[in-house]
Structure 1
Amino acid sequence: MTDHRENLLSEIRARLRQEESKAAEAQADDGAEDGDDDGDMGRKLGFVMGVVNWLGTTYGQESWRDPSRRRLVELKSSGPLAKGKLHALVAPDRKGGDVLTQDTPNSWHQITLMGGCKCSPISYSLRHPRKSKAGYLRSWKLMASNDGENWVTLKTHDDDHALTDKGYAFTWKVRSNGFFYRSFRIQMIGPSSSGNNVLNCDGIELQGQVLKGGVIFEVGTQKTAEKFEESHLEAGDLQCFGQGNNGVLGIATLSKQNNPVEIPKFSFNGQSVVKLSIYYNHCIALTSAGHVYTWGSGISNALGHPKLGMKDVYRPARVEFESNEDLTFMDIAAGYDFSLFLDSDGKVWSCGRGNYGQLGNSKTAEKTPSKAFETEELQ
């Protein structure tokens, strides 16, 4: 029996290491290298109306009016323009015209969302001026910031030939890992097709989630999500949709989500989810590293977060166990206001309501997950 148990545990540990390795490789492939995966999909999508157009139509309720002139977006450039006006960057249907920077290294255009809006993009679109046959972007990056000083790179393009003719538009996927930002910058990191540092563009657009007034809106995502579905999702990614009561969706909102929304991997410390157990409004996730996370309704301490008491938890949080050991787990189960966890040594841990003996340790309630019994006791 002991040999069988050891063999089983060895197989489980090997599988967990394999899943974690796959997750690390997938994460390493994000950024510059995933540009090629956009392929024909990005070209077929062309220029997809999204967040900027949504603001220009007053959140999809009115006819379009220039959002930059209504202070719904703020536009900036790296310096005085050589040609055009910045508001052309947000004009729909190619009505903007050329917007050219001076010939200086690292030229950039920037859009900042106003009115308390932030965006977590899943994709973005650029358009080359329809009357220009030169100066196509080749090497650049999409950057994001919340304060205009500290920037993160969401995507890097190195000798990208997606824009190859006048009026061409392309949409690329982005993995922002669920973070929301106010400002977005297109910055050159190499010369254009003409060999200079002039940034030549007449359209910038974002598609993704918009956070406004504590509510998350899906803007311009349906079309891009359908096209990029296979390339955007990876093994171990977790999505949610439906009612958001008690924070059960795990995306820091109580709002209903009509379309699938990804729970970012940073919520699980970058690990893939290999198993999920749900009972009503509380959720348990098991990751590729054998760690356990819970979120949703905290009634009866079913989530295993003693420092939070019975408060609801709106994002996945790693469970605190009675033992301070670095435990790894192989199975989970959510019940009616209680939770069970099976560790890799065959021990079962429990927390929450136990008035009917469901905790397995004669206790009627348990704030901190504690050892209930060992599976060997059931043999």
Structure 2
Amino acid sequence: MRLHLFFLILLAGSTCFAVNYSGPIGHREAFLANAGGGMAESPGNVLLNPAGLGFRQNKESSLTVSGNAISRQEFNVSQYAVDPEEMSIRPLLAAGIYPTNYGTMAIFISNPTSFKIYGGSSSSESGVNIKTLLRVDYEELAAGMTWAREIHPHFSWGVSAGIGVETQKSYGYALASQTGVTAVTSFSLTEQKTVSLFIVPGVLFKATDHWNVGLSMKALADLSSSATTMRFRTNSSSPTTVEELNNSYDPNGTSPLSFRLGQEFIFSANHDVYLDLIYQGASSSYNANNEKFLTDEIWSGALGYRNSFSNDVETLWGYSYARSGSADSNSLTAGVALERRNNEFIFGLYYLSSVPREADTGGFNSYGVMFSSNVEY
């Protein structure tokens, strides 16, 4: 039960293609702890605020690819030994940007969240030994298009829309026994898949030469949602009889709305500060027993800083904090950007920590190496 609650809380913070992300995402934004709602002319605008592409002045097409070159996750759950995820390579964003006479168009695909967890526990209660094993595979994918246009030298709008796919597979095994007797054995498998239509409209206002303000939101509409749970069980009273249960259900209840207010403060040509405030509303879901679970609303903030040493080298720094009813999350990022003509390559590190507020739930740490490249042609 404790591990079940832990995973429920973990997944609640990563609703498919939300404006609020639990890990690094984007191009420059990934190295600024996902700050960038007020940033103009970044490939990551397609995720955080598409209106930023409306101010794109370069008439060349570009291709952006970013990802985690190496990532690792460590999960801490009371009474469970949870193995960390193996080192992996994962794309965060691939985007092609194409300027036209009527605005800027982009196509993109993103993999905001992906993890595989293996865990188990062993305990004894009233003379009964209980052993459990659990594996969870979770994946999010999103693909779509962006259109943005400058309405006025100080104002632009844009919208991203597409399809998000969220999949999860959970495998569980439990054994209850006493000395010399196997009382109960059980195995369960749950497969879940949700396909959603998402839309992210946004506006960006250049209030002054040194201050940009952006506002974006995200809305989801489920196209399909399904889950299947299979359970197999035997007990000592009838060890040769397998009790089998198959149950299909709709796991999704309501999807949250998300809002992002982003600001960019331009102190000079070499120094920028980015400050974002993000709100994600509450949502609900159902389990195989048709029990309704409510997820908390989430408030988060992100602070990023850019420092240019020369025309070719910049450093990017970021910190973000997220607060929900069940956990507090902190993220630190850092990167070095190398520029040559209009091409850019960024290399850096990230660290993400989630600390639970309840004693019977678990937290996690995630850290790794990131990269992002943007090539114009």
Category of TM-score, reference length = shorter chain: under 0.3
TM-score normalised by L of structure 2: 0.20
Which structure is higher in RCO with an 8 Å CA cutoff and minimum separation 6? Answer: 2
Which structure carries more strand by proportion?
Answer: 2
Which structure carries more helix by proportion?
Answer: 1
TM-score normalised by L of structure 1: 0.20
